Amino acid sequence: MLWVLKVLVTVLALISYEHEVIAAPFNPPYTSIVVPVTKRTDAAKPLYSIEIMTTYVNMRYLTANFLIDIDAPFIWHDCILQWNSFPGSCPANTLCTYPVSCEEYQCTDIRTTYSYKINPPFCPPVTNSSTLPGWGYCTCLVNVVNPVTGSCAQPLLNYDDFTANTSNGRNVFTSSYYGANPNAACAPSSTFQSFPATVTGVMAFSSSPYALPAYLYQPLKKSLALCLPSILSTPGVLFFGSGPYYLLPQSDVDVRSYLSFTPLLKHPGSFGYFIRVNSIVIRRRSIAIPTNLATKLSTIDPYTVLRTDIYNSMVQIISFYTIGVPRASPVAPFGLCFRTFTPFVLRVIPDIDLILPNGVKWTIYTSNSIIQISRDVACLAFVDGGASSEHAIVIGTYQLEDNFLEFSLENSTFGFSSSLLRQRTSCANFNFTLINSI
């Protein structure tokens, strides 16, 4: 009997310790988890990635780079499934994860409810015919779409483990980490040949219950804050947490003080983020947007895509206000280009105001509306999406660069700063200096 009591006391002590460990990340001094954001231009289109710690091997964390996708329903990346893991069984510098069986509820749930929206349905049907040697269960094939090529792939669902640094909003802590254990999917290395160099996965930040935010605990899951850099040499920043957030040189100014807010909308069949744009105003001219149309936010589309009627109206208005600026031949995918790009042109080209509900205004300045193509040519960085595009407006990453964005996952609101350059800072100004958290 005494032996039983000793065992019981030991178990209760372990449970108490485990609860303390779980609770610790939510106490001061850290308020968020933080990862650097890198701009990538070595693929078919500009993309943005984060670096995440994936597994702990030989006293150090292995890391992997993932594309940022705020629309993807779940995470998928380069890894292999291994049901009988033991020390030394996984190949060197390879991520091995445990499989999800096709008989488990997560498999059915993702396949039927939370899978990628594939239109047209060009993926072959998923089957339960594959297994792992010696395992005795069927693996769970799921469909995904390559964000670079648009092609279909069928990775295998798994149990995963990701780790990130913590932060107080000003710095990164050296010895304090936060871990999450999502369901993800393993694809072979060949699947990622079209991705930017060293990028071997897609990190889902959508509202899906299988995207990363759903696996975080409060208060870290309160909001996703994203700041895409406009330069290659210095990273931007991504936070999960409750804030505050600081960018140099204004080390005492919470970036949230720059934000305006608008409601996030649900859209049938999508786990991405949508807002309402009532009109687009360019100086005194307005382009009305039908009230039944939601505007999508994207980290995969490189430039804002407008339905043809909206695009033509914008080009017509900007052409009117830039009548004295010499034109250049259009450079795909852009339709309006200028010759002799000088400071004079910047002064002539008008700002573009997105008018949101309750009179809230998101201003797109020339730093986010005009793209330099060559020394002598610059273009309007909006593209024609066609007369029957699925979404009337999709706001792309060029328009999001150097804007501080906060997706409140608790209150379903979207905060935006407009260009931080107007505040004499940028997304590349987070201080990634490591400090001790004690």
Per-residue confidence (pLDDT) for residue 438, from 0 to 100 = 58
- Report the distance separating Cα 391 and Cα 307, nearest Å: 7
Identify the CA nearest to 430 among candidates 47, 166, 169, 163: 169
CATH of the domain at 300: 2.40.70.10
Determine the average pLDDT of the residues in 216-237: 92
Residue 1 lies in a domain: no
Say yes or no: 190 and 256 in one domain.
Answer: no
Q: How confident is the model at residue 294 (pLDDT cuts 50, 70, 90)?
A: very high
**Separation in Å, CA 20 to CA 12, 76, 254:** 12, 31, 30
Q: Does 201 lie in the same domain as 298? A: no
Residues 194 and 271 in one domain: no
CA–CA distance, 79 with 201 (Å, rounded to integer): 9
pLDDT band at 120 (very low <50, low <70, confident <90, very high): low
**Tokens, residue 112:** 């039927």
35-47: average pLDDT: 97
Of the residues 196, 212, 247, which one is the last residue of a structural domain? 247
Domains: count for the chain: 2
Smallest CA-to-CA distance from 346 within 394, 390, 378, 393 is with 378
Half-sphere exposure of 252 (CA within 13 A, CB side): 0
Q: 287 and 215 share a domain? A: no
For the chain, give the percent of residues with pLDDT over 70: 90
Provide the domain limits for residue 390. 250-429
What is the tens place of the pLDDT at every residue in 229-277? 999 999 999 999 989 999 999 989 999 999 999 999 999 889 999 999 9
Confidence band of 437 (pLDDT split at 50, 70, 90) = low
Sign of CA dihedral 333, 339, 341, 345: negative
Q: Examine residue 282 and state whether it is found in any structural domain, yes or no.
A: yes
Average confidence (pLDDT) over 140-160:
95
Domain boundary among the residues 247, 264, 291 is at: 247
